[in-house]
Structure 1
Amino acid sequence: MGTMLNRATAEQRREAASVVDDLTTVLALGGAKLPSLEVDWEYGRLTGCYLINLGSARTREVLRIVDLLRKGLRYERLTYDD
């Protein structure tokens, strides 16, 4: 990777790594996981745009994530609709 591109995308790389860490942590706290969750470093290196691959997961894991999202949305509606 060229030095200019490396410097220009440093914050994007940090942000991508941080969001993957945050998502992994939040899912773990909710009793769920995405085993293939990762940053697509190669795509980012080639384009300067870092994508987050959510990957493959068992149906049971995705159902747990859907359940957590629904609960979060219900909570958010109750909290912000007042």
Structure 2
Amino acid sequence: MSALKTLLALALVTSLAGYNSIIKSCSYKSFCDQARGGGSSGATVRCCFSDDCNGQRGSKNGAGTLSKPPHGLLVAALAGKLLLSWV
């Protein structure tokens, strides 16, 4: 059942992010391993396991250099959370 939840969440995020997108997520290693294994969607999954993976300007990953907040990513995360709570 856990693998099904992971695939559903990845499918939802991938469909919102689009083909050939990069999905960044602060998450558990097991989720990242499963998401990388199901890589037929065309999206690239990059995982981070620290508290500052979506850190401020000057951080190593560059996520803080966006000019405006990634509202689509927030919507995808909330939708995934709701979807997983229903399964």
Q: Could you state the TM-score of these two structures normalised by the residue count of structure 2?
A: 0.30
Highest RCO, 1 vs 2 (Cα 8 Å, sep ≥ 6): 2
Q: Could you state the TM-score of these two structures normalised by the residue count of structure 1?
A: 0.32
Greater strand fraction, Structure 1 or Structure 2: 2
